[in-house]
Structure 1
Amino acid sequence: MRREIRPFDASEYLDSEEMIAEYLSAAIEEGPDVFLLALGDIAKAVGMAEVAQRTGLGRESLYKSLAPGSKPRYETVWKLIQAFGLKLKFEPMHG
């Protein structure tokens, strides 16, 4: 019997704001590239059409902004975070 192994898709597990917040918090600790990939996973989980509507950005623009290796503008990242129902919070590195 042959078993098929599917690649891991984080978006399949991002089913609540709490899970999304934890995932994005962990991703930002790993650096900007991982953080941006996580934004793409979350957008996929929420649904690109829904994210486009919430942000006021076009779907094609979102796909380009979230493509691996892209460098989205801060304004785009900010709109995405708000569309996911999240807020940014900073803590001291030492303490």
Structure 2
Amino acid sequence: MTKTITTHYDIAEHLRTPEEIVAYLEASLEEADGDAAFIAKALGDIARAKGMTQVARDAGLSRESLDKALSARSA
């Protein structure tokens, strides 16, 4: 029997261009069907792809505040 090995897949590592980010967000919004936690997860993926510290700075937030805002627990 062949042993299957899986590895962790992180979408943030694959969102490189604005077009990829827009496509991911559009697909996520469609899939979410109003699920706030799902949307927050997608936004968190995008923020990680762009760099959490930079996104927080651009939004006028601390990195910790951005983490909390995007946390599924706070949605």
Coarse TM-score class (shorter-chain normalised): 0.7 to 0.9
Aligned equivalents of 2:38, 2:26: Cα separation in 1: 11
Aligned equivalents of 1:70, 1:12: Cα separation in 2: 24
Residue of structure 2 equivalent to 1:17 = 18
SS of 1:6's partner is coil
1:68 and 2:72 correspond: yes
The higher-RCO structure (CA 8 Å, 6+ apart) is 2
Q: What stretches of structure 2 of length at least 5 have no aligned partner? A: none
Amino acid at match of 2:56: A
Q: What stretches of structure 1 of length at least 5 have no aligned partner? A: 72-95
Contact kept, 8 Å, 2:56 with 2:62, in 1: the verdict is yes
Aligned equivalents of 1:26, 1:69: Cα separation in 2: 22
Aligned equivalents of 2:11, 2:72: Cα separation in 1: 15
Amino acid at match of 2:11: A
**Aligned residue pairs, count:** 70
